[in-house]
Structure 1
Amino acid sequence: MSTPHPSPTPNPSPAPPIWTAPPVARAGGGVFAAVGIVLAGIVGLLVIAYLALGLGVSSLVIGSLLALVPLMIVLLAVRWVDRWEPEPRWALWFAFLWGAAVSVAVALIVDLGVQLVLAFAASQGPDEALQAVVQAPFVEELAKGVGVLLLFAFSRSHFDGPVDGLVYAATVAAGFAFTENILYFGAALAEGGAAELGSTFVVRGLFSPFAHVLFTACTGLAIGIGARRGGGPAVLGWFLLGLIAAVLLHAFWNGSLAFASDAIGLYFTVQVPIFIGFVLLAWFLRREEMRVTRTRLADYGAAGWFSPAEVQMLATPAGRRQAVAWARAQTPPRTAAMRKMIADSTHLAFTRHRIVTGRGGRNAAADEQALLTAVTADRAALLR
């Protein structure tokens, strides 16, 4: 027989609670974010300088502008997945810069090292097919995956499960693909002119903007599963499983493009079904997030922290839309306050879920009480 979990602390009165000794919640990785973003930004400047030297400034600018198109497509999709429980902006910025700068730098350094080794060995040069199927998948997925693993390690309170892993992995991959597309678009323009650039843009920018997202999502989902199961050292095992899946999928994708005789037929029969499968998985995971939010906010409702109407408002898409519309119609508008209450309440629900499932850790109670205080302040701001 399982041991029953305690219910949330009852709300003794409608007034905001007064904590005689308020617990200190975790910083949420703020120091890590600041240091990581600065270092990744420095690496990014070095990568930009390298691209400018290799491609020329004009090709770099044109390639960058075109690379914004697939980047926006991917980021809009990430935003859709992330709308229910949005991740902190600093974490997403770190994820993007890690992919766009650090992961690319690692891939470039390894590629240069391989070329130097082969040159000293008096070899004929690297085998392009071998690089595409073996070297690129392993090096790139490892570099991107480490970024997601760092986010888990230093932002544990914002890494609740597979959806968070998917969002962070997709953002890292979006950054990597952005820089890689600049390189490919700039090289195509420099080597083959507008015609070559156009065909490269269609293949990489329109036909497969989500390729890197699909690969790295395997790693992010696996780390998210490890987080959902309690975290700890076991997450490294999940990371390795996800990394293997990401490398294999990346190798399969590159190999199919390298050796296929009918690239268009392969795209629609293999790559499109893989993409559709990931879309369905993302939809299912979002539905699970909604279920968790409704269940845990109902726990707080039973303890007096939320009314039944508020639970309905905060835990359903229709309720959230109506709430934001109401806040927008007020004078002055209170849209920002309503969105903050929705975000704080959702984070509260997932914090409670960690506690109930026994994986909250020593700081979960402090996180919970800080969020309860924040929700009470949010309600007061809306009703002021």
Structure 2
Amino acid sequence: MLILSILTAAIAPGVALLTYFYLKDRYDTEPVHMVVRVFLLGVLIVLPIMVIQRGLLLWWGDQPIVFAFVISSGVEEIIKWFVLYHIIYNHTEFDEPYDGIVYAVAISLGFATVENVLYAIYQPASFGSLLGRALLPVSGHALFGVTMGYYLGKAKFASAASRTRLFLLMSLSIPLLEHGVYDWIIGSGTTYWIWFMIPLMIYLWVKGLRKMNRANARSPFRMLLREEEVNL
């Protein structure tokens, strides 16, 4: 019974955050089955990511900067971006800028949820430690997803090919950099890491919420909804 409770506590943050970001889609919510499918893709990429990371660790060793920006954030963000670009980017359901955020958050939280479950199983996890992980790693993955999805949305609906390429590059490089800074702080070994982490998380949440509002504001369905309200 205790194991079931701990597993529930490990899964709940990812599901709750995904629900939150899904409900923030103001004008044309995505089909639930599509969001669940992308979440499950995040679950499925855990194994290949772990295999690649293990190989890179054996090759390069555990150097803090390399681990933070290449082995950890590099591998994870590149694979998430690759899956989103090849499966979701050209999908017919990706029809407004905010959709990029929904799907990027979904795949990120699928990955983060499995990571959290593995932590709960293989580490002496308490509810306090799982709460801490909900506030930091799980929400961190969601916010990296917001950044990735925001720029994927800008790339999808950019008016010029050059801007599309620029936003695609930003959709990978910026969340990778954010994730790398996060991992570097966690792995710094300093006893004062939390004093660096708190400003970073505040920055990520404030920036993430602003990007969500901007993506919603550029929805083509916003004007359609206003026209319908005027006609009524």
Q: State TM-score, norm by structure 2.
A: 0.83
Structure 2 counterpart SS, 1:82: coil
Task: Give the superposed CA RMSD.
Answer: 2.9
Deviation at 1:213, TM superposition (A): 1.4
Q: Which residue does 1:209 correspond to in 2? A: 138
Q: Which residue does 1:113 correspond to in 2? A: 55
* Counterparts in 2 of 1:198 and 1:130: CA distance versus 1, 3 Å: farther
Structure 2 counterpart SS, 1:158: coil
Deviation at 1:233, TM superposition (A): 9.2
- Percent identity of paired positions between Structure 1 and Structure 2: 21
Aligned partner of 1:144: which letter? K
Matched, 1:183 2:105: no
Aligned partner of 1:147: which letter? V
Q: Which residue does 1:144 correspond to in 2? A: 80
| Cα separation, 1, equivalents of 2:202 and 2:230 | 45
Matched, 1:164 2:164: no
* Counterparts in 2 of 1:151 and 1:66: CA distance versus 1, 3 Å: same
Deviation at 1:207, TM superposition (A): 4.2
User: Pairwise mapping of residues 31-42 of structure 1 onto structure 2 (< 5 A)?
Assistant: none
Q: State TM-score, norm by structure 1.
A: 0.53
Contact 2:109 2:142 (8 Å CA) reproduced: yes
Selected match of 1:71 from 4, 7, 14: 14
| Cα separation, 1, equivalents of 2:108 and 2:23 | 16
Matched, 1:126 2:62: yes
* Counterparts in 2 of 1:127 and 1:206: CA distance versus 1, 3 Å: same
Selected match of 2:170 from 225, 231, 241: 241
Structure 2 counterpart SS, 1:160: coil
Structure 2 counterpart SS, 1:159: coil
Selected match of 1:296 from 224, 227, 230: 224
* Counterparts in 2 of 1:133 and 1:184: CA distance versus 1, 3 Å: farther
| Cα separation, 1, equivalents of 2:222 and 2:104 | 26
Structure 1 counterpart SS, 2:117: helix
Contact 2:69 2:176 (8 Å CA) reproduced: no
Bigger Rg, structure 1 or 2: 1
Structure 2 counterpart SS, 1:184: helix
Greater RCO structure (CA 8 Å; 6+ sep): 2
**Number of residues of Structure 1 aligned to a counterpart in Structure 2:** 230
Gaps of 5+ in 1: 1-57, 119-124, 190-195, 310-384
Aligned partner of 2:40: which letter? L
Q: Deviations for 1:166-200, whole angstroms, at most 9, x for unmatched residues?
A: 111011111010011112222222xxxxxx53453
* Counterparts in 2 of 1:234 and 1:133: CA distance versus 1, 3 Å: closer
Deviation at 1:210, TM superposition (A): 1.4
User: Pairwise mapping of residues 370-381 of structure 1 onto structure 2 (< 5 A)?
Assistant: none
* Counterparts in 2 of 1:93 and 1:150: CA distance versus 1, 3 Å: farther
Q: Deviations for 1:190-233, whole angstroms, at most 9, x for unmatched residues?
A: xxxxxx53453132123453101121322221111111125879
Q: Which residue does 1:90 correspond to in 2? A: 33
* Counterparts in 2 of 1:307 and 1:127: CA distance versus 1, 3 Å: closer
Aligned partner of 1:149: which letter? Y
Aligned partner of 1:280: which letter? R
Gaps of 5+ in 2: none
| Cα separation, 2, equivalents of 1:236 and 1:94 | 27
